[in-house]
Amino acid sequence: MLALKLASAEDSVCMHDDTFIFSCALIGALGLGAQWIAWRLRAPAIVLMSLAGLTVGPLWASLFGHPLLSPSHEFGDLLRPIVSLAVAIILFEGGLALKFENLRDAGPAVRRMVFFGGPFAWVLGTLAARFAAGLDWSSSVVFAGVMVVTGPTVIIPLLRQSKLGGRASAALRWEGIINDPIGALFAVAAFGVIRVASTDSSTLGTVMWILFAAAIGVILGIAFGTGIAHAFRNGWTPEYLKAPLIFASIILCYALSELVEAETGLVAVTAYGMTLANSRLAGLDELRKFKEDIAVVLVSSVFIILTANLTPDIILQALTWRTLAFLICMLFIVRPVSILLSTAGTLKRSEAVLLGWIAPRGIVAVAVSGLFGSLLEELNHRSTFDIYGAQQITPLAFAMVFTTVVAHGFTIGPFARWVGLARKEKPGALLVGANPWSTSLATTLKSSGVDIILVDSNWRRLRPARHGGLETFFGEVLSEDAEIHLDHTRFENVLAMTANDAYNALVSAHFAPEYGHHRVFQLSHQDSDDDDPRSIGMSARGRTLIRRGRTYDGLVRDHYRGWTFSKTPLTEKYTLDQFRAERPQVDILAEVRPDCSIVFLGPNREARGGAGTVIISFGPPETNEKPASSTT
């Protein structure tokens, strides 16, 4: 029987070899192309990917009579397994980001938002989907479970844009991280009950079987995670096979769990990711990098497939007053009520009001909604229930995404300022690379009132900074972990100051699109002013800090020779010209202006000076004996 099914699927694909290959290429080009354009425009990638899929799908069909891309036609029976595997890997990614220690770090407000507010929002969302959107009960329960999710890929850029700080920012960020897999598990549980109940089994038997199947999935996921961690920790696998082995084991874990009960594979892979994340496995960052690359491709592909698979009729059916009523209920009733009730006594009223408004849906919400929409459609053909709302799930999910991303994206900044939660202090600097020289610079900047964070992936190098009371971040600054846990709203300047010039350039290239090339700096890479044709080109580097020829080696060597940092306030009587005349040997790194903003200096960026400005300099001991009008 299995051989016949495989043969049938193979024949179906072979009949459309040319269009099948073209469809695969088009999906990849549109998905990654939309991601790249979003990066260039600093726009939400989820919106551009959705627009790309709608263009080649329903819009093309409306204009020319047939879609340029029709996944259900091109992939046939393979479509649902493809989407299912993609969603499984996306959920594994969500589980891999969820460490148990995160729950401790998140605080009581977030724990209550997740464990009390989440189920409460599920119940209210079910009522909104049933009575406002007009879905049947089965579709409403499943869809509302997915809508609990607020993904970190959407919320984190909004937090940066708004300069929102404090507990509200931390709560939104942690909610997105922790909720990412939870909403999908809500939907898995609801669909499992509906599917088993549709076989006319007893209620008690249905519940017992679902709990048993879910337990098997969790046990299987934990077993895979524990086994892989043990194998990697004991060196049973070479480094070059670790990432491919993880990828293959995700699929195997999913497939084995599906043999026990359909859709429990999503539970299993989520448990697998969580187990691996909490295993304290060395080298997990490298595995996360591989996982991020695969996830980007899969997320892009799923979005294009889901949007292109919509038809003009389905979209027109969704563009009704019921959809508008559903969106109003979700934005102005479900989210605010669940947040206000769950955070009572843990947050200020202004913080709870802001959290009740900001809840953008993202990647997991749409991907999982599309999967369960197709599963409910299949179930409708053999179920005793009338599941007439399954087709509307995907359009409603996209409506939620567009509405929340646009509405919350444009209002989070003004709203945060209106309720008094926007960060009032001037953004400071992120210093990448802990060494004696950069630690002394960080201490001087902090004493000048500049907010600083010192980052390094070596715990020992950060020790002097921690003992000196500086704020540090331990980890790789280019990793997804730093993307999630590092508060990017606190700084607007990035200084790459490691001994590796190529890494400094990489850090600069990473942060330049977000903060602007004029706010990303690195140390000079050579001891002379002449350009070296063998070095990294200026277009791929950050702006030079201090001056050309002032390299890492020279600065650290001068530090050990006794050179120190100084901060010198300028006045009407003691001007910048006098400072330069008295201390011709010093390196001027930055000036802190009267409005508390900091400007880092270098070639073609001379200090402006003026009364009230504080000059940050680095010089030999004899030049640091300043007149009475300056301080150290």
Whether 127 and 227 map to the same domain: the answer is yes
Report yes or no on 423 lying in a domain.
no
Q: Which of 223-232, 249-258, 406-415, 468-477 has the lowest mean pLDDT?
A: 406-415
Residue 539: which pLDDT band, with cuts at 50, 70 and 90? low
Residue 455: which pLDDT band, with cuts at 50, 70 and 90? very high
Report CA 429 to chain centroid distance, whole Å.
21
Whether 202 and 141 map to the same domain: the answer is yes
Q: Which of 362, 385, 418 is the last residue of a domain?
A: 418
Closest listed residue to residue 161, CA positions, set 542, 423, 510, 480: 423
Whether 171 and 241 map to the same domain: the answer is yes
Report yes or no on 367 lying in a domain.
yes
* Terminal-to-terminal C-alpha distance of the chain: 83
Task: Indicate whether 196 pLDDT > 80.
Answer: no
Residue 315 makes CB contacts below 8 A (sequence gap 6+) with: 58, 395
Q: So what's the pLDDT on residue 632?
A: 41
Task: Indicate whether 623 pLDDT > 50.
Answer: no
Whether 398 and 530 map to the same domain: the answer is no
Residue 577: which pLDDT band, with cuts at 50, 70 and 90? confident
Instruction: Report the alpha-carbon distance of residue 289 to residue 480 in Å, rounded.
Output: 8
Whether 6 and 153 map to the same domain: the answer is yes
- Longest pairwise C-alpha distance within the chain: 93
Q: Using alpha carbons only, what angle is made at residue 250 by residues 182 and 178, rounded to the nearest 5 degrees?
A: 20
Residue 432: which pLDDT band, with cuts at 50, 70 and 90? very high
Whether 138 and 51 map to the same domain: the answer is yes
**What's 392's domain CATH number?**
1.20.1530.20
Whether 239 and 298 map to the same domain: the answer is yes
Beta strands at 564-569 and 587-592: parallel, antiparallel or unpaired: unpaired
Report yes or no on 631 lying in a domain.
no
| pLDDT tens figures, 519-532 | 899 988 765 444 55
Could you give the percent of the chain with pLDDT greater than 70? 83
Whether 176 and 154 map to the same domain: the answer is yes
Instruction: Report the alpha-carbon distance of residue 566 to residue 619 in Å, rounded.
Output: 8
E strand segments, 408-529: 428-432, 452-456, 472-474, 491-496, 520-522
Cβ atoms of residues 264 and 257 within 8 Å: yes
Q: So what's the pLDDT on residue 291?
A: 65
Instruction: Report the alpha-carbon distance of residue 393 to residue 371 in Å, rounded.
Output: 10
**What's 484's domain CATH number?**
3.40.50.720
Segments forming the whole domain that contains residue 433: 428-624
Q: Which of 418, 442, 464 is the last residue of a domain?
A: 418
Cβ atoms of residues 365 and 400 within 8 Å: yes
Report yes or no on 137 lying in a domain.
yes
C-alpha distances (whole Å) from 530 to each of 502, 537, 554, 601, 606 are 18, 13, 17, 19, 20
Report yes or no on 533 lying in a domain.
yes
Report yes or no on 411 lying in a domain.
yes
How many of the other CB atoms lie within 10 Å of CB of 249? 19
Whether 402 and 526 map to the same domain: the answer is no
Residue 509: which pLDDT band, with cuts at 50, 70 and 90? confident
Q: So what's the pLDDT on residue 106?
A: 58
Task: Indicate whether 594 pLDDT > 90.
Answer: no
Q: Which of 30-34, 38-42, 618-622 has the lowest mean pLDDT?
A: 38-42
- The residue among 505 and 184 whose pLDDT is bigger is 505
Residue 430: which pLDDT band, with cuts at 50, 70 and 90? very high
Q: Which of 395, 418, 441 is the last residue of a domain?
A: 418
Total of domains in the chain: 2
Report yes or no on 632 lying in a domain.
no
Task: Indicate whether 250 pLDDT > 70.
Answer: yes
Whether 413 and 504 map to the same domain: the answer is no
Whether 86 and 142 map to the same domain: the answer is yes
> Rg (Cα) of the chain, in Å, rounded?
28
Q: So what's the pLDDT on residue 337?
A: 93
Instruction: Report the alpha-carbon distance of residue 55 to residue 62 in Å, rounded.
Output: 10
Report yes or no on 205 lying in a domain.
yes
Whether 160 and 40 map to the same domain: the answer is yes
- The residue among 375 and 334 whose pLDDT is bigger is 334
Q: Which of 128-132, 188-192, 474-478 has the lowest mean pLDDT?
A: 188-192
Q: Which of 121-135, 349-363, 426-440 has the lowest mean pLDDT?
A: 349-363
* Tokens coding 260: 């026990």
